[in-house]
Structure 1
Amino acid sequence: MTNSQFTPGIAPGRLPQGSYAANFADLSPPLDAHQAQVAADRCYFCHDAPCAEACPTAIDIPLFIRQIMTGTPEAAAKTILGQNILGGMCARVCPTENLCEGACVRETAEGKPVEIGALQRYATDAMMAKQSHPFARGPATGKSVAVVGAGPAGLACAHRLAMKGHEVTVFEARPKAGGLNEYGIASYKAVEQFASREVDWLLQIGGIRVIGNWMLGRAGDGTLVDLLADHDAVFLGMGLSGVNALRLAGEDKTGILPATEFIAELRQAGDLAALPVGREVIVIGGGMTAVDAAVQAKLLGALNVTIVYRRTRAEMPASVYEQELALSKGVRIIENATPVAIHGNGAVREVEFATGEETFRLPADQVFKAIGQRLGPMPEEIRLAGGRIWVDGAGRTSAAGVWAGGDCAVGGEDLTVTAVAEGRDAAEDIHSYLMGV
């Protein structure tokens, strides 16, 4: 937050040192063995499994829960990871209330679903604790694939390709692999460097090389033409690197920055007490990123934090669970309000909003923009649709030998689990293409 560090009102160390560890502790502590057995026992093992139908990666949920019940969590983990190689992180960050748990028969009948996300975490944590990798590389094919972006889509694609025996090189713009999981979610959702540990575990399969600080099209790095010349296929999974602007005069004032930048800096901070935060914080937007930024600003010691969204709360992209989490932490949510002006002399001091025919002002020394992201510059060979990369049902782009998936592609839903599914499925199609199947 380089443009904010010297702004009056924005300061580090607002809380007693011991408060940071407590505030940023694991949001949902893991189940122990007994708790997992009790939770698993609630599953009806439905024949039609609506929970599995609701999972974007089509995990056989009744099967893995039954495996937990029989005391074989590692077998349960293999069932999960065979469909979703980032099942550990998805167990922590998936909006299960809108997906598997929302479809659970127990939820429909009793308003209390089987704790599928917690059980998935229990199983995958058991596997990772053994430092073992359940999958092996296939016989070498002599084919190589370039993957651009080491986020969920790119990592899932790379892992599945390595399983097929291909050599994979992953090119990542940031210093570390992980993408959204490493840089874009609240730290209390994935404590103890879990995102990095999961990447290290995934790479145990072998055959995957990761090159950091490499951006497609940047001078000195490489172009799509270069990648196609050196590899047999290319997968694009770089996510959305641009940030939508408010398009208001004064948007360049000190104290205003993208919520994604704030979250990324917080995730990489060695000492949270050294991270500056304002007293009066406004977050503009209504998605998961807005909630993550708002809650973490409050946990860092901001006095007042307000999320302002242009539509109703029912229309907020953030789930009801996330909204209620924000409210429980003392974040205020104002709906049906649109920013119309930024006030201040050099640094932001107030933001003016309109609601219907009226306007009102909120004091602010720090403003986070969370109104969506956009695709960065793309090679001319790549056709776009609706501001994202056009792909067919198999993830193929308009360029021969090039696939895409995740947030950068049409259909991306800004969810780790969806990105994993798209990367995995593209890898299967790439394999068929390479092997002439």
Structure 2
Amino acid sequence: MSDSAPSPSALTPGIVAGRLPPEEYAENFDDLHPRLDRHEALVAADRCYFCHDAPCITACPTDIDIPLFIRQIATGTPEAAARTILSQNIMGGMCARVCPTETLCEEVCVREVAEGKPVLIGQLQRYATDTLMDADVHPFVRAPRTGKRVAVVGAGPAGLACAHRLAMLGHDVTVYDARPKPGGLNEYGIASYKTPQDFAAREVDWLLKIGGITIETGKALGPAMTLDQLKSGHDAVFLGIGLGGVNALNLEGEDKDGLRDAVDFIADLRQASDVAALPIGRDVVVIGGGMTAVDAAVQAKLLGALNVTLVYRRGRNRMNASQFEQDLAASKGVRIITGAAPRAIIGNGAVREIEFDYTGDDLKPTGETFRLAADQVFRAIGQTLNGAALPDLDGRKIAVTGAGRTSLDGVWAGGDCAAGGDDLTVTAVAEGRDAAMDIHATLMAEG
């Protein structure tokens, strides 16, 4: 949605822009974790034991040699540290900002286990990758051209990681994406305070310096661009199409003004030239328990909503959002209610209240209900795969074996659209990278 086109909820009474003094918006949407300076990075790196059998490496979905890159920082060579990181995770800069390190590498850090305070692995990763990117250096050189052509559908983390590795190996890659800008989730789906200053776009520009990658936006799988057409025009196809659909509440009145998908709200925020111009309600309710729900709830509060409540049908320990994200929401004034599911949408034309059932461990209503005032409601109850004539599915996602092989010869898949992952940026990068290596091996074996 463009900055000039108001969202449907902007036309609803009570949902207005400019709820805060102008100076508060810049402060609210500033960098959540500012980059470490050189001294801070050296002090943080000095805490690492450089374990030989480091559990942090095993906990990293991209298998980054964490002790090595931290040692390289400690010895004053952050550019070398960045190369260590990027050789495994070409989007290491974004992952350093958004990866839930507190439940991955930092959770198993020996310092965390012994002292309750891990080495700042995520912040050290950002220090190294930012240092290299600021120098406008691309640390990898493209191999001689192989003459093979690969189509990548989806310019999100999985697709871009796959494209970069394939290009580095000498293949010519065309990336197709339905959106106006590449980046996928990184560009459109992450809270603005996690990646300010257009970092997602800058990282894509930097990644493309490898050469051999062409990006075509505004193109999606469908009648105008079918999978069969892509297969006939390329030597291989990688699908990194994400999850384009959003689950509905399946309640009467769901079409009332004031109800929106949280992913659309977050996308509007990410693309807005002035967040102060974005309309927000006085009483906001977010339904869901994942990272998207938390991002929407926190940003609603930062935009000036008076009351923001996040409601999840299961218990706190079942929320997909990490404990850090839950604590962040609480620190910003978001109220979290668990064990409750929406029952009814109340209002005449526009939402005014949401009625909820308290639920038991079996998710069945207990018979007790409550209502929350709401002039704006965001749905964040999961996304679904869109598309026709796709490879075989495993449940609601594309079935894959090995490094992303699908049921169709010559077609691979990875990221959120593929079965088996955990819907994290870092996992998508790993799956795109690994699929690229398998595609390369297959193409070279074919001659």
Same fold, TM-score > 0.5, yes or no: yes
Q: Which structure 2 residues correspond to residues 16-415 of structure 1 after superposition, within 5 A?
A: 16-217=21-222, 219=223, 221-355=224-358, 356-380=366-390, 382-415=391-424
Structure 2 alignment gaps of length 5 or more: 1-5, 359-365
Structure 1 alignment gaps of length 5 or more: none
Aligned letter for 1:180?
L
1:386 Cα deviation from its structure 2 partner: 1.0
SS at match of 1:181: helix
Query: How far apart, CA to CA, are the structure 1 residues paired with 2:416 and 2:441?
Result: 24
SS at match of 1:305: strand
TM-score scaled by length of structure 2: 0.96
1:394 Cα deviation from its structure 2 partner: 1.6
Query: How many percent of aligned residue pairs carry the same amino acid?
Result: 71
SS at match of 1:100: coil
Aligned letter for 1:309?
Y
1:261 Cα deviation from its structure 2 partner: 0.3
Aligned letter for 2:199?
F
1:378 Cα deviation from its structure 2 partner: 3.0
SS at match of 1:102: coil
1:266 Cα deviation from its structure 2 partner: 0.4
Encode CA deviations 1:13-57: one digit per residue, 9 max, x unaligned.
111111100000000011000000000000001111000110000
Query: How far apart, CA to CA, are the structure 2 residues paired with 1:337 and 1:291?
Result: 16
Encode CA deviations 1:342-386: one digit per residue, 9 max, x unaligned.
000010000000012200110000000000000002315x10011
Query: How far apart, CA to CA, are the structure 2 residues paired with 1:144 and 1:202?
Result: 19
SS at match of 1:189: coil
Tell me whether 351-360 or 154-163 shows the greater mean CA deviation. 351-360
SS at match of 1:334: strand
1:2 Cα deviation from its structure 2 partner: 2.2
Query: How far apart, CA to CA, are the structure 2 residues paired with 1:291 and 1:2?
Result: 21
Aligned length: 434
User: Are positions 1:431 and 2:434 aligned together?
Assistant: no
SS at match of 1:424: helix
1:435 Cα deviation from its structure 2 partner: 0.5
SS at match of 1:187: coil
Counterpart for residue 421 of structure 1? 430
Query: How far apart, CA to CA, are the structure 1 residues paired with 2:308 and 2:395?
Result: 33
Query: How far apart, CA to CA, are the structure 1 residues paired with 2:261 and 2:19?
Result: 22
Encode CA deviations 1:64-108: one digit per residue, 9 max, x unaligned.
000001100000000000000000000000000000000100000
Query: How far apart, CA to CA, are the structure 1 residues paired with 2:159 and 2:443?
Result: 18
1:207 Cα deviation from its structure 2 partner: 0.2
Query: How far apart, CA to CA, are the structure 1 residues paired with 2:141 and 2:19?
Result: 49
Q: CA RMSD in A?
A: 0.8
Aligned letter for 2:326?
Q
1:412 Cα deviation from its structure 2 partner: 2.4
Any runs of at least 4 consecutive aligned residues in structure 1 with deviations exceeding 3 A, and if so which?
Answer: none
TM-score scaled by length of structure 1: 0.99
User: Are positions 1:14 and 2:19 aligned together?
Assistant: yes
Query: How far apart, CA to CA, are the structure 2 residues paired with 1:410 and 1:272?
Result: 36
1:155 Cα deviation from its structure 2 partner: 0.2
Query: How far apart, CA to CA, are the structure 1 residues paired with 2:215 and 2:411?
Result: 19
1:407 Cα deviation from its structure 2 partner: 0.2
Query: How far apart, CA to CA, are the structure 1 residues paired with 2:47 and 2:277?
Result: 45
Encode CA deviations 1:228-252: one digit per residue, 9 max, x unaligned.
1110000000100000000000011
SS at match of 1:14: coil
